[in-house]
Structure 1
Amino acid sequence: MRAVPVWLRHALFIAALIGVWELAASQGLLDPAFFGRPSGIAAYLWKGFVTDGTLWRGYTLAGAVIAFVGGSVCAVATGLLFMVFPGFHRASEPYLTLLNAMPRIALAPLFLLWFGLGIGSKVAVGFSLTFFIVLSATVAGIRSVNSDHLVLPKALGATPRQVFTKVTLPSAVPVIFSGFRLGLIFALLGVVGAELIAAEHGLGQTLAYLQSTFSMDGVMGLLFLLAFLGLGITSLMNRLERALLDWQ
């Protein structure tokens, strides 16, 4: 007897979980006012994606992408600068540690005051989260390069620039990509968190409204949507990393 495929086992488990959830809600074992019910969640998502299309508006995803790209570019540039000028790194490290220790979500009202209710304040929160994550990964990745891999090119006459571009940076890419993967998730979390506080558009703003009106089906539907967005982002980054590191 052939083994059951993994995807089929996952599908059966999810189907059974949804069935038990729906049955418990219909029998009153779970209060739909607090937990929602799968049929109501499906109806909300169908309306949001098919009937009126309100969930296709990409304010949240656009803000997360802008925050991730901006934060990652600045972080990698800063990390490379630190490696070129170690003294500058040592001098700025205490201040960066202090800034990184600040809870960015608690700073969201300040970003709202500076950048307004639009996408700018959401990007600022996501940027601040992404920057420090990718910066730490960049510095750690460059420092983790095996010293033996650096000695041989120098002995063969390679210039410092050639050693950095041909050995150090490619060897650090896996660790940097780990920072990218985590940074993209935190960019999305930062944007959604800022939208929950105050926003004109976005999934976070919609989530806050649904919570205030006790529409639990909508709340659960958006939570599942955000979870699948995070899963999709992680899968995409994993595929991109494998494609770029195919040479290893």
Structure 2
Amino acid sequence: MMSRKAAHRSMLATSQRDAPARRRSRTAVKVVIARALLIIAVLAIWQGVVSAGLVDPFWISSPVLVAKEFWTQAVSGTLLSDIGITVFEALVAFVISSILGIASGLLLARSPFWDMVFAPLIVVLNSMPRVAIAPLIILWFGIGLAAKVITAFTLVYFILLVNTLSGAKNVDNDIRTIALLMGASRRDMLFKVTLPSALPWIFAGLNLGLTYSLLGVIVAEILSSNQGLGFVIAHNAGSFNTAGVFAGLIALSLVAWLFAIVMRTIESRLLSWKPSTTSA
């Protein structure tokens, strides 16, 4: 009899432990369904407005026309080629900007003097409108890979620099003191105390920086390029092909969404101890 009661208590405890996971699962399913219904509703309204003749499809196209244009470009292979070019340029810019931004943030965190020296300069440079200087970058570096990477670099570098610096400055003083009392060297303080403590801040910057690297490349491609998603959007806009513009925007949105999923997956693996406050 006691064994049955014990088994019942064990099953009850297991059920109570699994309850939060089941609630999260049900919530996730509801969120996916709500998102799908929202998208379907928007597309239905869009198509209905055009089909009813309330708006000329020349101005806003329609979901059917956009789907046909997207399929035509995808089957021809030109869209996939342009996606590949934009993704490559964005990733190159992101990697270079992230490495230099994180390194700069950590170095400034170790030297309060140089942090104070560079602080006004960082604020001024970070406040400059990148779209305004993009034509100048293209003038200097042409329409090749370098111009796209540098344009994106001007966006991403300061995001990683500021986030890394802020994270490094917010290390728990108790942890820092304990590490020093245990004889930690400057190298140990950097790699075993400062960097791990700043990782949540760094990943927040990486999430934002990956998106901005894509936006920076797109801006450069729109202004002056003969390939890439930015070129697809600008070319179709110039030829008054509204469906083609929307097809390029959809492709861009899909790339940005995949970037976000990859970055969130990496973050969840490396920061599994940190409660997530964002949704994919």
TM-score of the pair, normalised by structure 1? 0.93
Match of 2:198 in 1: 172
User: How do residues 109-148 of structure 1 correspond to structure 2 at under 5 angstroms?
Assistant: 109-148=135-174
- Determine which of 38, 62, 73 is the counterpart of 1:37: 62
Match of 1:54 in 2: 78
Root-mean-square deviation (CA, aligned residues, Å) is 1.7
AA of the residue aligned to 1:6: V
**1:68-114: CA deviation from partner (whole Å, max 9, x where unpaired):** 11111111111122122222222122222222222111111111111
User: How do residues 167-206 of structure 1 correspond to structure 2 at under 5 angstroms?
Assistant: 167-206=193-232
Higher mean displacement: 176-185 or 97-106: 97-106
Provide the secondary structure at the position in 2 that maps to 1:30.
coil
- Determine which of 108, 113, 134 is the counterpart of 1:82: 108
Match of 1:20 in 2: 45
Residue 247 (structure 1) shift: 4.8
CA distance in 2, matches of 1:101, 1:242: 31
**1:186-225: CA deviation from partner (whole Å, max 9, x where unpaired):** 1111110111111121111111111111111111121122
AA of the residue aligned to 2:246: M
Note the residue ranges of structure 2 that are not aligned, 5 or more in a row. 1-25, 275-280
Provide the secondary structure at the position in 1 that maps to 2:226.
coil
CA distance in 1, matches of 2:123, 2:37: 47
Note the residue ranges of structure 1 that are not aligned, 5 or more in a row. none
Higher mean displacement: 15-24 or 167-176: 15-24
Match of 2:241 in 1: 215
- Determine which of 247, 250, 257 is the counterpart of 1:224: 250
- Determine which of 14, 30, 35 is the counterpart of 1:10: 35
- After the TM superposition, which parts of structure 1 deviate over 6 Å for at least 4 consecutive aligned residues? none
Match of 1:93 in 2: 119
Matched-pair contact (CA < 8 Å) for 1:134–1:176? yes
CA distance in 2, matches of 1:13, 1:93: 44
TM-score of the pair, normalised by structure 2? 0.83
Structure with higher Rg: it is: 2
